[in-house]
Structure formats: C-alpha cells, structure tokens
A = this chain, B = another copy of it.
Amino acid sequence: MTNNAPPQAQPNQDGDHVSLTTPLLSRHRSTPNSSSQVAIVGANICPIESLDYEIVENDFFRQDWRARGSIHIFQYIFMKWLLCFLIGIIVSLIGFFNNLAVENIAGIKFVVTSNMMLMGRYGMAFLVFSVSNLVLTFFAASLTAFAAPVAAGSGIPEVKAYLNGVDAPGILSFRTLVVKIFGNITAVSSSLLVGKAGPMVHTGACVASLMGQGGSKKFSMTWKWLGYFKNDRDQRDLITCGSAAGIAAAFRAPVGGVLFALEEMASWWRSALLWRAFFTTAVVAIVLRGLIDVCLSGKCGLFGKGGLIMFDVYSKSVSYHLTDVPSVLLLGVIGGVLGSLYNFILDKVLRFYNQIKKKGFVYKIFLACFISIFTSCLLFGLPWLASCQPCPFDAAEACPTIGRSGNYKKFQCPPDHYNDLASLIFNTNDDAIRNLFSKNTNSEFQYSSILIFFVTCFFLSIFSCGIVAPVGLFVPVIVTGASYGRFVGMLVGSNSNLNHGLYAVLGATSFLGGSMRMTVSLCVIILELTNNLLLLPLIMLVLLVSKTVADTFNGNIYDLIMKAKGFPYLEAHAEPYMRQLTVGDVVTGPLQIFHGIEKVGKIVHVLKTTRHNGFPVVDEPSVSQSAVLYGLILREHLIVLLKKRAFLSTSVPTGDHALRPFSAEDFAKKSSGNSDKIEDIELTEEEMEMFLDLHPFTNTSPYTVVETMSLAKALVLFREIGLRHLLVIPKIPSISPVVGILTRHDFMPEHVLGLQPLLITSRWKRLRIRFPNLLKLLGSHAG
C-alpha cells in the first residue's frame, strides 16, 4: 500500500522514559485520510474495494425477512448445497483436465526428444526441446499479459486477500479463470519449474465466485436461478469451499484441502463452513477417483497409472528408532533455514521483476521467454555433467527407460547404463518427485547429481515464479525439498533405518514447512500425497522444527507476496502500540452526514465528490437539543434509490409505502466491477430539488464504538465481525452524534504510524523492528 505521507520521525533520545510517564500522544483530530488504497494486481496498479460482511438491518430487510416462508429457507439451503456440489464437480473436472493436458503435452515432448537422442541426433533433440518449451511459454505469457494480467502467479495471495475482505478488480472473473487454466497448462508443459496447485486454488475460487454470481455478465453467460448469493457473506463461504476444492483436486487430498482453506486461506471460519467445505472436497475426491478408474483402463493417452500427483511411498513396516531422530531434526533445521532464505530471495526477485514488468508488455514476455530458454539449456545441458551409471541387477523397473517416466533415464548413456541426473532433471516435475520418493533405490543417485539438482531447483524455481504466467509454488518447493532430503539420507546412509525415499519425503516436508509455514494442513497433505500414515510422528516433528526455525527469520511466503502486492490485509491481532491509541486518534475527517429526509441534490453532490461507501444518517433534534444517530446508509443503496427515482416532493415521510417499488433483487450486490456508478444517473433540475426518505433503507443497527475506545479493541471488533464501516460516537454528547467512520484503511499499521510519527521512535516500534515476529506472536497472544 502506498503511504504518501512519509513518517516524520522526531528524534527523541529519551523515548523510553517519556513513554512511561506521559501520555504518548496529544489528542488532536487528524488530517484527512488521503492515502488511497491500491494494490499491484498483475503488475498493474488497481484501486481496491473492501467487502462488507455486515447484515444491513434496515426496514426493507426486516420486511423481506419476515415475508420469507419456509419454502424460501429450504430453497436457500438447497441451493447452497447444490452450488457446493457443482463447484466440486467442476473443479475436479478442471483439475483432471489440467493433469491430462500437461501429462500428454509434456509426455509427447519428452518421447519425441528421447527418440531423437536414441538416434544420436542430440542437436536436433535440443532444438525440438527448447523450441517447444519456448513456444509453450510464449503462449502462456502472452495470453496472461494480454488477456488477464491478474492471472499471473499462483493466485493464492489474491484469494487469501479476498477472503480477508479485499476486493481487487477482476481477480475472480471468467476471463481470469480461462487464462488461469490454459496459461497454467502450457506453462507447466513447457518444463518450467512451476507448479499447478496454486493456480488450481485460484481456479476453484473463480469457479465458486462465478457460480455464486450466476455466471459472467460480460460473456452473457448468466443463469438467473444461480444468482442466489449476491452478497459478500455467501460469496465468501463459496469461495472458501472453492479454494478447498482446488487443493483437493490438485493433490487428490480432500482432507488436506479443507485444512488448507481453513489454515491458510480463510480469515473467518464457522463450523457450518467446515462441513460444507468437507462436502465439496468429498465430491472432488469421489469424482477424481471415478475418472482415474477410467484412465487406468488406458484411455487417457500418456496419462499413466501414476494418476494425478500421488506419490505412494507405503511400506508395510516403517520402523524408526531414537537413532533416526537427530537426522530428522537436522532436516527440520535445514528446511527452516533454506525455507526462510527461499522466501527472502523470492521476495527480492519478485520486486525486481516488478520493475521490469512495469516497462510494458514486451518486457514481460521477453522475461518469460528468457527464463524458458535458460531453463531448457539447464535441463538439457546439466545431465552431460553426470557420468553414466551401470544399471543395477536387481532393478525393480526397466533400466534404462526410454521416453518418459521410470527411474532410470538413458539420456546419452550407452546401453545398460543410465544417467541419474537426467532421471531427475530431464523429466516432468511429478516424475522427478516420484523418483526421489522411490524406495529400494538407495544406490541410484550420486552425491554430485543430487547436489546439482538441488541447486538448480532452488534457484530456477525462484526465477520462474515471477514470470507473467499462472504458475504455482507447491511443486517446485516439494521437488527442491525432496532433493536435499534425499541428499541427507545418502549422507546418513546405513546409519538409519529409513530408506532414502522417506528422507526425500521428510526433506520435502521440511522445505514446505520452512517456506509456507502451515502445520496441520501440510501434514495432512503430505500424508495424503504419500499414503503412508506410519510416518506421521516424523512428519510432525519435521514440520514443527522447520516452521519454528523459519519463523524467527521472516514470514510465510504468501504473506510476503501479499505485502509486496500491497493488499491491505487485516491481521487478526492488534499491534502492541495500538493499545496506547484510542480510535479518536486515528479517525479522520471531514465526515459527510445525511439527514433522515435529505435533498436529492445534496446526495448526488456528496456521492459525486467523495468516494466514501457508507454515510451516517442523523435525525434532526426533537426532544433533546442534539441530533440523534439513526444509522448508516450505503453508497450502493443510495444509487439504487436514485435510479428508481422514489423521490418525495416535500420533506414529509411516507412510511412503509416507500418500500413498495423495491425488491430484494434491487439491493443485491453487483459483481465486482459491474456496480452502477453515480455518474451514470441523470437527474433533472426539478428532481434535484426533491427529497428522499432514507429511513427505510438505513441500517439501524450499525456497530459503534465510543471515541475513547482503544484502537486495539476496535480492531478486534472490526476484524472479528468482518465490518466495512465502524461508526465512532462521541463520549460526551455533542452537536454531532457521530465523530467519524473507521474503515479497513484506518487500522493499517502504515496509516496509523503515518498519523502518529511519535510512535516510530517509541520503544514498541523499536522492539518491533528488532523482533518483528516476536511481537506478532505476542500480539496474537494478547489479542
């Protein structure tokens, strides 16, 4: 977020002492909050709207609510379950289609290349390989850059921000969905070191959002019967289910999907939602299971029996003893250090890429193409460094294999020999992971090959992640982690009861834990991926260690990206210094207030000259000598009233008649970017002189805080309930019954610190700089 007023730090040598004895701040009404909320969405700077989860309890709502029969209630509930069912079906079909397409496109590429190499035409093979990669990358990058720049990246930060109440334009549109699907297929097929899990989450969220809105208006694909949930609350629920379905489809991990949505994505959660997300992912699991049965009969081309991503490492008797614990702990520590380093470098690279991308389309696409060519050279060139190994006598699989899949790649080697580095690097990522996880192959890889592979993956995945294409992070992180895990396993060698494949699993776990910092959800995803419950205690141990180590250095990768993009994410806990401030210290003016019966001209003027979304409605003094707060009215509702021209000629209220011309449909939330604008409403001079009775449309139960409430507590209220506006009322009755309105922006640390420069020098701030994560922890404890 841009913070236009640079905090003017006033050097204060004696800050500690001062802060202990005097109030930190002089009470003053702050200057207008002029910093706008923008975010970098797909390398463009976009305005951001907040979502509103509050129920608008006005007369209209109450009548509508009372008039609803049990049929309506049944219909609502039935539709909500039906939508979850449909989301599950569609997301699983898309996930399956993605995998099918990737496996076939990449598969054909590898088969053709390998055949050429078998004939000794190495130069031609490289040409075919690199050109096909380049074409695929070019397609993905140009599609994304021209059609929907928002679709670039994994999409998880965007969806996470949306579920926190931040609506950036276009992130859940139909166009984004299409680009996400096809862009991701081509990007992954082009042998870039990128994943498909993150994009599947975004895809799931898009599907859910479109279903909830009843289709896409722009592409005139709308189904009225679906448009039942045109409000932010229901949309939030559906999108949470959609993102759970996305992970479930990507990893065939239904329980992991629910937990991922719960732990990483959602900012608000209810047990009813757990139940519905579980239903959605169960549908995904069952559909995928059916489709794989179809594929097992060989009707899916090169989409083999490996199925979706699924690395079965089950062995009947995994036995491990106390002696294995040190090496597992070591893996955890390595994962934590490497994970936080990964996050750090990735953040820097993304910021650097953003500078390049800002220069225009050509630069964006050139960058992607450059990365593609670089990747092709590495993938094709590095295996030549590895020496050929003779095939083992007792190999469980064919050795060497030609074409794709299989543990032992022939590459340039003579017959009965294989190239171990090629088996990893000259392969799809899924197959590389499968090779690393494989058991009874302890002597397959050389130290040097694994090390080269690890370094390549580590940096290549960082450089590939920021290109303008829909690419995810999960698979690169798994592959990188598995490589050093296997390396550690080889070092430990026969001193351990665990085979090298299990070390690779633990390595992947540790690197995931170190960079993504999830706990339960990662644990379950890994278990579901590897189908080995006996590893559970070791996986938990590794995750605990790696997350703890990494948390001391920096934050979770998605939070870093979200911050870099500028989404005003509202944390659940308050910063410690917010306890020293009251809401009166941060509330900004000037405040626009409407009267209960207001002149049309004034409403139009205010709507045109401000960008506020909620306005307090006050009633004229009657018994008391000061005005009385009646409630809060929303901009979008005012625009509906103006459009319907339900005006009064005099300032006398008409009562319930005012509600007649309106239906619930009128007040339904428009999909993002499609809302009506005040500029589109043309009113005559005469109409401008008329009046509007705002009472029936005013939310009479807005949440309020007294101006002396501490900012930290107001933040807890704002965040826990999911508000867009929080009215501040005066402590001592004064002329105006409302002091101001707090919005998301007023709680952002950047804004608060900008208003209160003294805080920068106070000890909290210094403590915060010294131990950023420590205080975060403390804040979350105390909150």
A579 contact set on B, CB distance < 8 A:
57, 62, 65
Query: Which of B623, B717, B774 is A77 in contact with, Cβ under 8 Å?
Result: B774
Check B716 against A708 for contact (C-beta < 8 Å). Answer: no
Please name all residues of chain B whose beta carbon is closer than 8 Å to the beta carbon of A289 when the two chains form the complex. Answer: 537
In the docked arrangement, what's the CA distance between A533 and B706, Å? 54
**A775 contacts which chain B residues (CB < 8 A)?**
73
Q: Does A541 contact B (CB under 8 A)?
A: yes
Decide yes or no whether A36 CB sits under 8 A from chain B.
Answer: no
Q: Are B709 and A285 in contact (CB under 8 A)?
A: no
Contact of A544 (CB < 8 Å), options: B80, B282, B524, B783:
B282
Nearest B residue to A523, CB-CB? B255
A624 touches B732 (CB 8 A): yes
Stretch from A270-278, A372-380, A662-670 that touches the partner: A270-278
Please name the residue on chain B nearest to A729 by beta carbon.
B706
How many chain A residues have a CB neighbour from B under 8 Å? 97
Chain B residues whose C-beta falls within 8 Å of the C-beta of A704 in the assembled complex: 704-706
Copies of this protein chain in the complex: 2
- A771 interface neighbour in B57, B70, B721, B777, Cβ under 8 Å: B70
**What residues of B have a CB within 8 angstroms of the CB of A534 in the complex?**
531
Does A391 have its Cβ within 8 Å of any Cβ on chain B? no
Q: Are A536 and B77 in contact (CB under 8 A)?
A: no
A77 nearest in chain B by CB position: B777
Report which of B62, B703, B708, B733 forms a contact with A580, defined as CB distance below 8 A: B62
Task: Please determine whether B629 and A731 come into contact, CB atoms closer than 8 angstroms.
Answer: yes
Judge whether A263 and B274 touch: CB under 8 Å.
yes
Most chain B Cβ neighbours within 10 Å, of A20, A76, A733, A771 = A733
Known: A528-B536, A579-B57, A628-B732. A279 touches B544 (CB 8 A): yes
Residues of B within 8 A of A777 (CB): 77, 272
How far apart are A593's CB and chain B's nearest CB, in angstroms? 16
Q: Does A700 make an interface contact (CB < 8 A)?
A: yes
What are 19 contact pairs spanning A and B, CB under 8 A? A57-B712, A57-B713, A73-B771, A73-B778, A233-B782, A234-B781, A255-B520, A258-B520, A259-B259, A263-B274, A272-B780, A286-B540, A314-B316, A528-B536, A531-B533, A623-B732, A703-B705, A704-B706, A717-B721
Q: Is the CB of B713 within 8 A of A701?
A: yes
Q: Is the CB of B19 within 8 A of A259?
A: no
A710 within 8 Å of B by Cβ? yes
- Shortest beta-carbon distance from A294 to chain B in Å: 11
Mask: chain A, 305-346; 1 = CB below 8 Å from B; 0 = not: 000000000101000011000000000000000000000000
A291 at the interface (CB under 8 A from B): no
Bound-complex Cα distance A281 to B781 (A)? 20
A212-261 interface with B by 8 A CB criterion: 233-234, 254-255, 258-259
Interface residues of A in 512-567 (CB under 8 A from B): 519-520, 523-524, 527-528, 531, 533-534, 536-537, 540-541, 543-544, 547
Question: Measured between alpha carbons, how far is A520 from B259 in the docked complex, in Å?
Answer: 9
Within 8 Å of chain B (Cβ to Cβ): is A611? no
| Residues in B whose Cβ lies below 8 Å from that of A275 | 519, 547
What 0/1 readout, one digit per residue, does chain A (719-732) give for beta carbons within 8 Å of chain B?
Answer: 01100000001011
* A322-B290 in contact (CB<8A): yes
